[in-house]
Structure 1
Amino acid sequence: MPALILLSSYLLGSLVSGVLYSRARGLDIRGRDLPGASGTYRQYGAAAAALVTGGDLLKGVLAALIARQFAPELGWLAVLGVVLGHCYPVFFRFRGGAGIMPLIGALLILAPLTLLVTLGVAALVIPAYRAWGQRRVGLNAVPFAAAVAVPVGLLFAARYGGLPELLAGGAVMAARSVQLLLRPEGAA
């Protein structure tokens, strides 16, 4: 069962909405930007970004629901798989996004209170980073805020629940954010 949960979640994660959307428009967004909501917004506008956000959230929700239905104790494995698939999608030469929306979707089902605290910290970090650090660092504000908010969320999750899920998805997402910081793909 663990292998099935991991594989199904990874394959769901590998369906990167921003890449699918941009290819339907005749391009590949990864040549210019990251395939997440913010990159899609910059390249295609608000409606496209909303569609991509919904798709990436939905795959996180579906992965969590699959785990909850068949092996609730393996929720962390579903989170790991869906975020890993989004960051390193088998269908798109292992070049995906930062994994934020699939993580949020999965946590919405598996650890909603931990998600709320983590998003609250991110909401505080984003404006500060945009004002003082984004031009110096060069990384999009959302992955940077996630790299700060996830450790705070981990502290909260250790006390109130959701630690394995946040650890699994947060570790992959943090590694991907560092990778993008050191070697950006596109104009993110």
Structure 2
Amino acid sequence: MNIVASLLIGYLVGCFQSAYIISRFKGHIDIRKYGSGNAGTTNVIRVMGWKAGILTFFMDLLKAAFGVYLGNLIFGDMLYGYYTGVGVVIGHNYPVFLGFKGGKGIAATLGLLLAVDWRIGLIAVGLMAVIIFISRYVSLGSVIMAISIPILMAVFYTDQWQYILLGAILMASALYTHRANIKRLLRGEENKLGHKKNLTENKQ
């Protein structure tokens, strides 16, 4: 029951959609109708600029960290904080109040990792940053970071199978939400960071 409760609490926290709120108040638009149609940091950067994108990123990161903290506080166990964080990522990706159409969960995943174990979080952030810096592909950095999660969990939490399992779930979630990006990467058609969509350009 604690696991179910943790996931539900996290899900409700995750439904707080930063990109949607910022686009409504700052740009008076629904970000999901522009650019890639994704309610996440990269699309906000491309449609609305770096300031709005960075604000979106940190709000999503902090809400996941808050979810982990809340779960740990309520149940007195970081494992349940971890479950709550996973719930935040699910809620971010599939928010019930927005027709289950949200983001891809990368910033939220990073916030979760930093809150659960700052060592793993920093490695994940560093790995993603290096890949993006070298390739200029945010999606590639996100995918490689996601693949590293269960590996890092297995290294730091060898005897705690639930930590590794949740890491595998986070990886699978990220790969699924990035499935179109992966296809474009393989075809050499993915947009690099810095490619900006015009505000009047509807999603494709």
Name the TM tier (shorter chain): 0.7 to 0.9
Q: What is the count of residue pairs matched by the alignment?
A: 177
> For structure 1, which runs of at least 5 residues remain unmatched after alignment?
131-140
| Identity rate, percent | 27
SS in 2 for 1:47: helix
SS in 2 for 1:22: helix
SS in 1 for 2:178: helix
> For structure 2, which runs of at least 5 residues remain unmatched after alignment?
158-162, 185-189, 191-201
Q: Equivalences for 1:41-60 in 2 at 5 Å?
A: 41-60=45-64
Determine the structure 2 residue equivalent to 1:69.
73
RMSD of the TM alignment (CA)? Answer: 2.4
Determine the structure 1 residue equivalent to 2:100.
94
Q: TM-score, normalised by structure 1?
A: 0.82
Q: Is 1:30 matched up with 2:36?
A: no
Instruction: Note if contact 2:146-2:170 (Cα within 8 Å) is conserved in structure 1.
Output: no
Structure with more helix by fraction: 1
From the CA coordinates, give the structure whose radius of gyration is larger.
Answer: 2
Determine the structure 1 residue equivalent to 2:196.
none
SS in 2 for 1:35: coil
Q: Is 1:81 matched up with 2:87?
A: yes
Q: Distance in 1 between matches of 2:145 and 2:62?
A: 22
2:141 to 138, 145, 163: 145
Q: Distance in 2 between matches of 1:174 and 1:79?
A: 18
Q: Distance in 2 between matches of 1:76 and 1:171?
A: 16
Q: Distance in 1 between matches of 2:21 and 2:90?
A: 17
Q: CA deviation at 1:171?
A: 2.4
Q: Which moved more, 1:81-90 or 1:152-161?
A: 152-161
Q: 1:149 to 1:50 in 2, by over 3 A?
A: closer
Q: CA deviation at 1:98?
A: 0.9
